[in-house]
Amino acid sequence: MPAIIRVEPSGSGRFRVTVTEGAGKSTHTVSLSPEYHQKLTRNQVSQEVFIERSFQFLLENEPKESILREFDLPLIGRYFPEYENEIRRRLAS
């Protein structure tokens, strides 16, 4: 069963992300600047959709328990260098 990813704005560029897989759940606080959102999405999708797709990418590469509890979205690219190109590709299709 795929994970359920819920993204909720929590004020000034911060989002609360809840990942539910089976009986397990994890909660994360993610920061996203308008500049980074524009850079990767050209504002073609909402910030929430961008974050949800980013979490789908993360879950394909690591278990939810390994995802940091709080981070700035560009940090994903430090751990996974292919992230920015891959997320652009996914959002374009």
Q: What is the tens place of the pLDDT at every residue in 13-70? A: 999 999 999 889 999 999 999 999 999 999 999 999 999 999 999 999 999 999 999 9
In this prediction, residues 5-11 reach a mean pLDDT of: 97
Q: What is the pLDDT of residue 93?
A: 80
Q: What is the pLDDT of residue 1?
A: 72
Q: What is the pLDDT of residue 22?
A: 86
- Cα dihedral angle (84, 89, 92, 93), rounded to 10 degrees? -150
pTM listed for this prediction? 0.95
Asked if 5 and 17 touch (Cβ cutoff 8 Å), the reply is: yes
